[in-house]
């Protein structure tokens, strides 16, 4: 889901669309879609030249945060980084209901890999949305996909890039720090940030014969995979948004 469909989702609740952060922080600048993350504070080139992967120098910090759940981490990050600068309550559903909503949202949407990324990356040095996304995506280098996460990517590749499936799988699951967060898409989000229930639903409804027949025919004929990716994203985005909980 910056990922276009993700993007389409998280912030539907708060103000826009942003995926898998689906937690309030996500709605404020991951509300940043993969198309606008890089513009958050000007130049992107100076910020993507980082050799160090998250986790190599952050083990102590992660251990210190291990007892805090993702909602506590997100609340602290949102307030510390002054996310939501329009004068209103920056926390989705308001301060009184945020914890209850966040717990429902986390269970409905997020993967273990995403929770791990939040524990690692929702810190003050990553208040800039580009930096946070870069940190999160780098963390997936040392995370493991579930079978459902692998299967949704495999199904997408078989549907939209059938003549190059192995390369498609690699391209959709491996983050390129040199290209930065803007280089990711909805398939990458599904590959890492969504839980198995959502990924199974997306695979069933948004790939194979379930996807628009016209799009599939175009791909089979050797056409551009772009329309197929867009169709996948639109379908997955609807499923993602439907899974988002209302304020308690």
Number of domains in the chain: 1
State residue 209's pLDDT score: 85
| Residue 45 included in any domain | no
In a domain, 47, yes or no: no
Task: Please give the Cα distance from 167 to 151 (Å, whole number).
Answer: 15
43 in any annotated domain: no
Nearest to 106 by CA among 132, 139, 69, 77: 69
At residue 81, φ and ψ (nearest 5 deg) are -90, 5
- 184 and 3 Cβ atoms separated by less than 8 Å: yes
- Cα–Cα–Cα angle for 114, 164, 235, rounded to 5 degrees: 50
CB within 8 Å of 151: residues ≥ 6 apart: 199, 200, 203
Q: What is the pLDDT of residue 215?
A: 58
Given this model, what pLDDT does residue 225 score? 66
133 within domain boundaries: yes
Q: How far apart are CA 152 and CA 177, in angstroms?
A: 23
Residue 46 lies in a domain: no
The length of the chain, given as a count of residues? 248
Partnered with residue 110 across adjacent β-strands are 194
Q: What is the pLDDT of residue 222?
A: 52
The pLDDT averaged over each successive group of 10 residues in the chain (248 residues) is 40 34 36 33 35 46 60 91 69 91 95 93 91 94 96 94 93 94 94 97 92 58 69 91 94
Residue 234 belongs to what domain range? Answer: 4-38+55-243
pLDDT of residue 192: 97
In a domain, 116, yes or no: yes
Taking the whole predicted model, whether its pTM rises above 0.85 is answered as no
């Amino acid at each position: 889901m910056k990922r276009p469909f993700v993007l389409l989702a998280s912030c539907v609740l708060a103000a826009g669309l942003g995926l898998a952060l689906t937690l309030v922080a996500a709605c404020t600048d991951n509300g940043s879609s993969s198309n606008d993350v890089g513009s958050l504070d000007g130049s992107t080139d100076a910020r993507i030249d980082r050799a160090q992967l998250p986790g190599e120098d952050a083990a102590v910090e992660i251990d210190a945060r291990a007892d805090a759940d993702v909602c506590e981490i997100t609340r602290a990050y949102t307030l510390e980084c002054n996310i939501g600068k329009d004068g209103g309550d920056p926390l989705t559903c308001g301060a009184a209901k945020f914890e209850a909503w966040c717990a429902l949202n986390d269970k409905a949407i997020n993967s273990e890999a995403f929770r791990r990324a939040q524990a690692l990356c929702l810190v003050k040095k990553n208040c800039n949305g580009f930096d946070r996304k870069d940190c999160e995506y780098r963390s997936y280098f040392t995370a493991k996909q579930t079978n459902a996460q692998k299967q949704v990517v495999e199904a997408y590749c078989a549907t939209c890039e059938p003549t190059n499936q192995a390369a498609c799988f690699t391209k959709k699951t491996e983050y390129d720090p040199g290209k930065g967060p803007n280089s990711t898409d909805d398939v990458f989000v599904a590959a890492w940030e969504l839980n198995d229930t959502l990924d199974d639903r997306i695979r069933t409804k948004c790939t194979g014969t379930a996807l628009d027949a016209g799009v599939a025919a175009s791909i089979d004929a050797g056409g551009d995979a772009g329309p197929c990716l867009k169709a996948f994203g639109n379908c997955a985005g609807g499923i993602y948004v439907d899974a988002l909980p209302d304020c308690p």
